[in-house]
């Protein structure tokens, strides 16, 4: 069976997950993103690639940064952007996901950027479009349940490549709430595909998925041990709102054991970079001094995110 994200020529048709996406496509997206970073410096921050196209941001779950950067990316490509806040619209009145999609297709949508609490929702939409012969409409997953957040994974890879150049000699640590994190899944998939020799996940047993080792990572339950000698520290947000049941003691206690402080960061390589997908819980998973420190590249991540999303949309948008 062919990868549902690729068309019959092996080109990107939808972006749903980084899992199983070939290395040459990942590299093509990263290479394409590089020249888009320059557009932000121009007098006119607009390119004509998606002129006349309509991009619908379908956010069934709250998001500020992701939705905003997708919107900026689409607007810099000259697309018309329509933001649908589904909490206050038809879904709240009981319309099904695919009925919503069909209605927006009737309004000549060219691309859907979808965030949904249910894993697999963007895939469902992509399959529906394929089944109904609407191959010219593209779907970009902006985060689904615990499954994937591919553009976040891509912008993280762009950031690592920007600061470290080469993936094949790196040790990368992903720290925190891996269990609830679609970001971590996308990061692990991309890092492995791009040839990072050692990917570590660091966290308490209650916040790591069972058999996480099968993803090809080394597991550490001791943060100090896990951070030793790493080149990249990727912090995850403690997903308070997803937490049910007593997985954790208190945020203060979590910070004591799993919070990234200058003292713990000193165990990594001296030139290690610190990343965070945002929004940060200062004083829970990361200390303010580290978040604002010289090794943090958290704000460049946001800026690169626009270029990466422009690259993805412009690679999809022509077909």
Partner 1 sequence: MKDLDAEALCRQLAEQIRPHVCPATALVGIYTGGLWLAERLHAELGIAQPLGAIDVSFYRDDYASKGLHASPKKTEIPFDVDGAHVILVDDVLYTGRTTRAALNELFDFGRPARVELAVLVDRGGRELPVAARYCAHTLAAPLAREQNLELQRDEAGQFGLKLTQRA
Residues forming contacts to partner 1 in the complex (CB under 8 A) are 11, 28, 31-32, 34-35, 37-38, 42-44, 46-49, 314-315, 318-319
Is 162 assigned to a binding site?
A: no
Is 66 assigned to a binding site?
A: yes
Instruction: Indicate the residue among 110 and 231 with the shorter CB distance to partner 1.
Output: 110
**Nearest-approach distance from CB 27 to partner 1, in angstroms:** 9
Instruction: Indicate the residue among 227 and 311 with the shorter CB distance to partner 1.
Output: 311
Is 153 assigned to a binding site?
A: no
From 313, 318, 303, 304, select the one nearest 55 (Cα to Cα).
Answer: 313
- Residue for token pair 């709250």: 62
Instruction: Indicate the residue among 22 and 35 with the shorter CB distance to partner 1.
Output: 35
**Nearest-approach distance from CB 318 to partner 1, in angstroms:** 4
Instruction: Indicate the residue among 168 and 318 with the shorter CB distance to partner 1.
Output: 318
**Nearest-approach distance from CB 300 to partner 1, in angstroms:** 17
Instruction: Indicate the residue among 37 and 239 with the shorter CB distance to partner 1.
Output: 37
**Nearest-approach distance from CB 319 to partner 1, in angstroms:** 6
**Nearest-approach distance from CB 114 to partner 1, in angstroms:** 22
> Rounded CA gap, 236 and 183, in Å?
8
* Sheet containing strand 111-116, strands side by side: 80-85, 54-59, 111-116, 138-144
Is 164 assigned to a binding site?
A: no
Instruction: Indicate the residue among 204 and 317 with the shorter CB distance to partner 1.
Output: 317
**Nearest-approach distance from CB 285 to partner 1, in angstroms:** 35
Is 51 assigned to a binding site?
A: no
Is 209 assigned to a binding site?
A: no
Is 226 assigned to a binding site?
A: no
User: Which segments are annotated as binding site for carbamoyl phosphate?
Assistant: 65-66, 115, 149, 152, 278-279
User: Which segments are annotated as binding site for L-aspartate?
Assistant: 93, 182, 237
């Amino acid at each position: 069976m062919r990868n549902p994200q690729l068309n019959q020529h092996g080109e990107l048709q939808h972006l749903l997950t980084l899992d199983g996406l070939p290395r040459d496509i990942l590299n093509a997206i990263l290479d394409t993103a590089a020249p888009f970073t320059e557009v932000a410096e121009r007098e006119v921050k607009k390119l004509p690639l998606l002129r006349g196209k309509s991009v619908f941001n379908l956010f069934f779950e709250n998001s500020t940064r992701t939705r905003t950067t997708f919107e900026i990316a689409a607007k810099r490509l000259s697309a018309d952007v329509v933001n649908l806040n589904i909490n206050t619209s038809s879904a709240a009145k009981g319309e099904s996901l695919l009925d919503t999609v069909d209605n927006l297709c009737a309004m000549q949508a060219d691309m859907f950027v979808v965030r949904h609490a249910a894993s697999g929702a963007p895939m469902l939409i992509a399959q529906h479009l394929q089944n109904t012969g609407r191959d010219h409409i593209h779907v970009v997953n902006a985060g689904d349940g615990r499954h994937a957040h591919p553009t976040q994974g891509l912008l993280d890879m762009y950031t690592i490549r920007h600061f470290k150049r080469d993936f094949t000699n790196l040790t990368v640590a992903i720290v925190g709430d891996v269990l609830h994190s679609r970001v971590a899944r996308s990061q692990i998939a991309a890092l492995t595909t791009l040839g990072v020799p050692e990917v570590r996940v660091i966290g308490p047993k209650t916040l790591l998925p069972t058999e996480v080792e099968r993803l090809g990572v080394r597991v550490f339950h001791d943060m100090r041990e896990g951070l030793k000698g790493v080149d990249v520290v990727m912090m995850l947000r403690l997903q308070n709102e997803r937490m049910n049941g007593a997985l954790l003691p208190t945020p203060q206690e979590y910070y004591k054991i799993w919070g990234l402080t200058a003292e713990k960061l000193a165990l990594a390589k001296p030139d290690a970079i610190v990343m965070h997908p945002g929004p940060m819980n200062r004083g829970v998973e990361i200390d303010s001094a580290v978040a604002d420190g010289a090794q943090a590249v958290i704000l460049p991540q946001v800026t690169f995110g626009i270029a990466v999303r422009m690259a993805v949309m412009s690679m999809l948008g022509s077909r």
